[in-house]
Amino acid sequence: MKVAMGQFAVGREWQQNAQTCEKLMQQAQDAGASLLVLPESVLAADMSDPGFSVSAAQPLDGPFVTQLLTKSQGSSLTTIFTLLMPDGPQRAINAQLALRNGAIIARYDKLHLYDAFAMQESQRVTAGNQLPPLLDVGDMKIGMMTCYDIRFPELARRLALDGADVLVLPSAWVRGPLKEMHWEVLVTARALENTCYLMAVGECGPRNIGSSLIVDPLGIAIARAAEEPALVFAELDAERIASARQRLPVLANRRFNRPELA
């Protein structure tokens, strides 16, 4: 299955960001991709104004999502991204959406909010309270996670046990000492320990690292972007997953499902 990562820097104007998303969707579709993953919080951002993203939030029937749904009509491409939705005065929900052929086919509200490294996402964002769904793309099952979720291995493991072949991670990974190392180690570990593909797509620009990558079920990075906007393609192979799980049967060997350890 051919997949794509669309890495870009989110700007202040939602119209410009929607145009960027549409362009990436068209390029991915033209290249024959079945799945396109975009960064976290693609609606609008202003790094000089911490509250701007929340004040700019739009509902699912707002113009941003409506424009991308219109763009997706008539296409089998599945596009995944997150945006902020209003949740009362000066609060929002960080919702991950999957679009295909003019419809929202899945939604996941971010469970783990980024209250770390001197930042506090929970001041303005309401955490989700439901596990992510699995969705079918081609012959693979896709599990949804968002950014800071990668630091919580139990979520990736739950998705893998539920049947995920591929984990997607729209992100806006903030720069800082050792942060790029954390990103690579965590993405690689979640893929390897669950023998899944993991597509981690980062927003780039003045604050965030970009550095999108796809890691295969044996922990090998098969596609990468650097710090600039990029559209990167890769082929995901169901036989590679089956082979990895036969050689490294960690999901079958786990013992925490045994009654004596419950």
* Six token digits for residue 175: 């720069």
For residue 110, indicate whether it is catalytic. yes
User: What distance in Å separates the CA atoms of residue 252 and residue 197, rounded to the nearest whole number?
Assistant: 17
- Is residue 100 helix, strand or coil? strand
Active-site residue, selected from the candidate residues 21, 40, 71, 204: 40
Could you write out the three-class secondary structure of 113-136?
Answer: CCCCCCCCHHHCEECCCCCCCEEE
For residue 147, indicate whether it is catalytic. yes
**Strands 35-37 and 2-7, how do they pair?**
parallel
What single DSSP character describes residue 208? B
Active-site residue, selected from the candidate residues 21, 71, 110, 203: 110
**Residue in the structure block whose two tokens are 């570990």:** 189
Displacement of CA 224 from its chain's centroid (Å): 15
Angle at 160 between CA 158 and CA 164, to 5 degrees: 125
Q: Please, are residues 230 and 191 in contact by the beta-carbon 8 Å criterion?
A: no
Active-site residue, selected from the candidate residues 21, 147, 196, 204: 147
* Six token digits for residue 2: 């051919």
Residues in CB range of 99: below 8 A, 6 or more apart: 65, 68, 69, 72, 78, 79, 80, 105
Catalytic residues, which ones? Answer: 40, 110, 147
